[in-house]
Amino acid sequence: MLCVNGVNLYYLKTGTGEPLILLHGNGGDHRVFLPLIAKLTSHYTIYAVDSRNHGRSDKTDVYDYNVMADDVEALIDKLSLKSVNIIGFSDGAIIALLLALRNKGMIKKMALLGVNLKPSDFTQQSYQYVQQHYEQTNDPLFKMMLEQPNIELSSLTKITIPTLIIGAENDIYNPAMFVEIADNIPNSQLKIMTNHDHGSYIINNDMLYPDLVKFFETD
């Protein structure tokens, strides 16, 4: 646990090697990465973070991707880490993208798993599900998904670090959006996981792991 930006953030640290930050998705925590962590610890020092309002980290009244990016930036700074690698899933990928847009020197490489730029990137069915769930529960995490992020596609051309974009064949986001993101980040690669939905390829990571290792270990 580390106090940064006014909140206590939990993170799991394990492994040896270059620093690799893992950022989970909405409503989850670091545990979604445990099967992947077991394979990565021989290559990297893992920092698997619980975002604010998730897992073991503090609960607050602030639900904002930019503030969550502030938290991670402060965590990296407080841990005195330099040029980190990042794997972000869903909300975690949004946070990684925001960090890359604001701090070019902080990230060495990043893998964006199931990322989106705007709420309009949802498929119609997925958006309706999120909207209905929020109407039934008033869950602020779902409200955040309906209103954020708001990243302009044209801004992605500023990102120069190597970037791996991964989407699923049956993702909650429109598949054309992944192509547009890859087309606008100059030094990027795109991989679509067939026969998977949003996030299933992380838990069942036999397809994902080789792509990640190849990406992060290639100069």
CATH of the domain at 12: 3.40.50.1820
Q: Assess if residue 58 is contained within a domain.
A: yes
Q: Assess if residue 207 is contained within a domain.
A: yes
pLDDT (tens digit per residue) in 35-50: 999 999 999 999 999 9
Structural domain span for residue 7: 2-214
Q: Assess if residue 219 is contained within a domain.
A: no
Q: Which residues of the chain have pLDDT under 70?
A: none
Q: Assess if residue 113 is contained within a domain.
A: yes
pLDDT (tens digit per residue) in 119-151: 999 999 999 999 999 999 999 999 999 999 999
The pLDDT value recorded for residue 157 is 97
Q: How far apart are CA 58 and CA 71, in angstroms?
A: 12
Q: Assess if residue 159 is contained within a domain.
A: yes
Cβ neighbourhood burial of 192 (10 Å; 0-12, 13-18, 19+): middle
Q: How far apart are CA 66 and CA 181, in angstroms?
A: 19
The number of domains in the chain is 1
pTM confidence score: 0.96
The pLDDT value recorded for residue 204 is 80
Give me the percent of the chain exceeding a pLDDT of 90.
Answer: 91
